[in-house]
Structure 1
Amino acid sequence: MSDTTSNTESSDRPSSQLNFGAFKVHVLAHKIDVTLWVIRILTIFFTIGYFIPVYWSSYNAYYKALLANAATSALRLHQRLGTVQFNAQFLAKVLLEDSCHYLFYSLIFLYVPPVTLVLLPILLFAILHASSYALTLLDTLGHNAWWGARLLISVVEFQSRNILRLISFTEIFLMPLTVFLVLMGKGGLLTPFIYYHFLVQRYSSRRNPYTRNMFHELRVVFESFAAKPNMPGFIRSFILFVINLTCKLAPPQVTAQPHTQ
């Protein structure tokens, strides 16, 4: 009787314990993916540190978050493209990558005084991708490991579309904000022009159509707003002028592919 009970307990024990052996094997086999996950967690940590400064100043936390995002983007870019080649074809491939876009994004705002909204896209991307890979790590520990964390991850995954739409809206809204920063003396004269090229890259992204779709949604909203019968003529004309100017500045349409970063 006691032997049967002992055997039953020993057979039930593995299902309730964390499989650290499998976790270690996974980490050693996927060093770059795990490193990316750690840096994304640091990005989230630094961004929180910007809003709630405890261990360092908000100023330092802001630029640490940007640098962490730059490191993530550079490592992801290396992971996707491999060895660097010094030719035009390789450069063209680099410019098409979403990781290159956000490496460029970090470099733009490293030389501008802290702007809270700048951290929003990199924070949301860090949450999305860190949550996704955290689920993979939890699966290596055991399917019943840390159900609370799994619940939070499921919430993030359920809201992923809305998160990506918010990121794309922020990317667009930052364009006029960079112009405002120049007028306020808080940004360099080239900042809006450099950021415009970043926005063109996001609009032309092969894997992430959300920025392109958000431009279309905003156009529909503003055209409907301008078409209201009680809309003053000068406001209607200004809105239509901005819409036409934006359409002229937009790059040619491209065929989108499934999103990855």
Structure 2
Amino acid sequence: MATTQHYVWAGGHFALLAAAFRIFLSWVTFGNPSVWWYKFAFTGALLSYAIVCNKSLGTPQPNAAYIKKCIADENVQYLLLALFWWTSKPVTISLLPYAIFSLFHALTFARTTLMPQFLPPGPPAAAGGPPTPPPLAKKLQNWVKANYDRAMSVVAFTEILILIRVVLGALTFQNSLLSPVIFAHFLRQRYWQSAFTRHAIATVDVQVTTLARRPGVPPVVDQVWQKARSVIATWAGSTLQAPAADAPPAGAARR
């Protein structure tokens, strides 16, 4: 049976989804996204991720082992990033990865917790056996399984776009100079923790290298790009451990 904490966790995801929908609707219709909705969305994220982090890491402890465990936990990373976005000038695209995570968590919560309470169960799998979950719940489960990898890939490419956005935003004074620094460090962590991020970065690397070497492009463009690749690779790999097994999806309710 779901606990009150579980309902609060789900409520944070539903709140984030509702606010993100409102913001993206305003965005695509060339409106001015509300700062209030932006902060409300990340408040939902902070609530959900705080619950997950508390459940997975336990009571905070003032020792090096606990701090090291927190730093390596991807849910802590997303929690801290959400806090940074909440306190910063809005960057609308920064909501998209959180909204995608929340969509999958909200659908799973609806399937496992809400639908069994409000929808009639399906017929028993065998004569005399227990009833099966509602048919709609089964369809929803199949949809989540079929689209999960694709959605995580979208998250990975979106996070690269966010880095580009905050770098350009820093150059044009649309966001703080701290934003690209913090997000670059976050993306470096994601590279070593997520196969989806590694694939997205490798894909972008190949595409940019191909464009830089196209006939007619001055050779200096490729030279500059290769120098940039070398600097980025040195920075990204200088203080990181080798990739470990991919962690559970961010924001997951680890029960």
What amino acid is the match of 1:181?
Answer: G
Aligned to 2:29: none
The offset of 1:163, in angstroms, is 0.8
Structure 1, unmatched stretches of 5+, are: 1-25
The offset of 1:153, in angstroms, is 5.3
Aligned to 2:9: 36
The offset of 1:223, in angstroms, is 2.7
Deviations 1:151-199 (A, max 9, x none): 4553343111111011111212222321222222222222222222222
| Preserved contact between residue 112 and residue 186 of structure 1 (Cα < 8 Å) | no
Aligned to 1:49: 22
Aligned-pair identity in percent equals 24
Find the aligned partners of 1:127 and 1:153 in 2 and give their Cα distance. 13
TM-score by length of 2: 0.79
Rg comparison, structure with higher value: 1
Q: What are the residue-to-residue correspondences of 1:1-261 with 2, within 5 Å?
A: 26-27=1-2, 30-52=3-25, 58-138=34-114, 140-141=116-117, 142-144=120-122, 147-148=135-136, 151-152=139-140, 154-205=142-193, 208-251=194-237, 252=240, 253-257=242-246, 259-261=248-250
Find the aligned partners of 1:225 and 1:125 in 2 and give their Cα distance. 32
What's the secondary structure of 2:87's corresponding residue? coil
| Preserved contact between residue 37 and residue 130 of structure 1 (Cα < 8 Å) | yes
The offset of 1:244, in angstroms, is 2.2
The offset of 1:139, in angstroms, is 6.2
TM-score by length of 1: 0.77
Between 1:95-104 and 1:187-196, the stretch displaced more is: 187-196
What amino acid is the match of 2:10?
Answer: W
What's the secondary structure of 2:246's corresponding residue? coil
The offset of 1:82, in angstroms, is 1.0
| Preserved contact between residue 138 and residue 146 of structure 1 (Cα < 8 Å) | no
The offset of 1:89, in angstroms, is 0.6
What amino acid is the match of 2:156?
Answer: S
| Preserved contact between residue 23 and residue 34 of structure 2 (Cα < 8 Å) | yes
Structure 2, unmatched stretches of 5+, are: 27-32, 123-132, 251-255
Between 1:34-43 and 1:87-96, the stretch displaced more is: 34-43
Deviations 1:111-164 (A, max 9, x none): 332222111011001012222232212564354476556545533431111110
Deviations 1:66-93 (A, max 9, x none): 1111111111100101111111110010
